[in-house]
Amino acid sequence: MKSIQISFQVLIVVFFLFGCNSDVKIKKIEKPNQYITVLGIAQDAGFPQIDCKKECCNAFYTNKEPKKLISCLGLVDLKNQKKWLFDATPDITQQLQHLKTQHLDTGNVIDGVFLTHAHMGHYTGLMYFGFEALGGNNIPVYAMPRMKTYLQENGPWSQLVAFNNIELKKLQKDSTIVLNTALKVTPVLVPHRDEFSETVGYIITGNNKTALFIPDINKWHKWEKDIVAEVKKVDYAFLDASFFKDGELKRDMSKIPHPFTTETTTLFENESIKTKNKIHFIHFNHTNPTIKNTHPLRDSIQKLGFRFAREGDVFGL
C-alpha cells in the first residue's frame, strides 16, 4: 500500500452540492495517531543565506521563492499527547510554534529534543530554552556521549544545564530509546566532520511504519552500513541533499563532504520505484537548485521516483 502522506496545513474538504436546498456533506482525512512532520529543509545557514548575492537567494528577496527553515523533523503522538523535535535549529521559535498551532498544543513547549551533532544548524536552537528566553524547566535533550560532554563543559550551553533549563539524556549508538508502546528511537553513528561531537542519524519506529533521518553525512561509501540496504528496511528515508553536484561552490568541496544529490540518485538508479519513493531529500544548501519549489532538475529527479521533503509534510507511523 502506498505510504500515507498528508499536509495538515490544509484540511481536505469535499463538498457535494445538488440544488439550492441540498445539505453540504463534508469529508476530511483523520490524522494518524503517530506521525512525523517536516519542520524545515534547509542546510545549517538557512535560506536565504547570509550575504548571498547569488540568484538563488535573490529569488527570496524578489518574492519568487519563500524562506526555507533549517532542517528539522517533529514527531507527534496524538494518542499520548506528546511531541518531540529532531534537532534544535536557529529557527526553533517558528518551528515550535508551528508544531503547537498546526499539530499539538498541550501547554508543554516540547517533550524532548534529539540532537544529531554539534554543527550550528542542529543544536544552537537550545539557546532559546535558556535564562534570557524561555527559561525552560528540565526539557529532555537526548545526546550522544561527546555531544553531552560538549554541552556540559562549554558555555553558554553549560548554563542551560546549571540552571536546569534542559536535562541531558545520554544516548548510545544502536541503543533504542522507548518513548512509549507506539514509538521508539534509535541513534546510528555516521561519518561526518566531528570537531565537537560525534554525528548520528536516527531510526524512528512506530507501530506501522519506520523512518530513517540522516541530515548530515560525509559520503555514503564512508559509512559502515550500506545505504541502499538501510533504505529498503524503512518506509521513509530523509537523506542529506546539501549539494546537488561537485563544483557547486567556489570552494574545495572535498573539505565539506556531503553526498551530492547526483551521487545518491546514481546509487539507487537500478533500484525499484518503490525503493526510490522512500527517499525524501532534505538539508539543502542555498546553492542546491532543487531547494526551489519548482526547478527543472527537481522535476527530473522526481520523475525518476525520488521525492523532496517539504515543510508541512506529514508521514504516518
Looking at residue 265, its amino acid is: T
Q: What is the pLDDT of residue 17?
A: 34
Dist. CA 313–CA 72, nearest whole Å: 12
* CB-based burial label for 89 (10 Å; 0-12, 13-18, 19+): buried
Q: What is the pLDDT of residue 18?
A: 33
Q: What percentage of residues in the chain have a pLDDT greater than 70?
A: 87
Strands 113-114 and 82-86, by their bridges, are parallel
Alpha-carbon distances of 246 from 227, 242, 266, 268, 301, rounded to whole Å: 20, 11, 14, 18, 17
Structurally, the chain folds into a number of domains equal to 1
User: CATH number for the domain including 249?
Assistant: 3.60.15.10
For residue range 283-293, list pLDDT tens digits in order.
Answer: 998 888 888 88
For residue range 38-72, list pLDDT tens digits in order.
Answer: 999 999 888 888 888 887 777 778 888 888 899 99
- Label residue 29 by pLDDT band (50, 70, 90): low
- Label residue 25 by pLDDT band (50, 70, 90): very low
Q: Which three cell numbers stand for residue 137?
A: 524547566
- Label residue 250 by pLDDT band (50, 70, 90): low
**pTM of the shown model:** 0.87
Alpha-carbon distances of 82 from 29, 44, 187, 255, 268, rounded to whole Å: 21, 26, 20, 40, 35
Say which residue, 11 or 37, is predicted with more confidence: 37
Look at the block and give the residue holding cell 527537481.
Answer: 298
Task: Supply the range of the domain harboring residue 137.
Answer: 5-316
- Which helix (DSSP H) or strand (DSSP E) does residue 187 occupy? strand 184-189
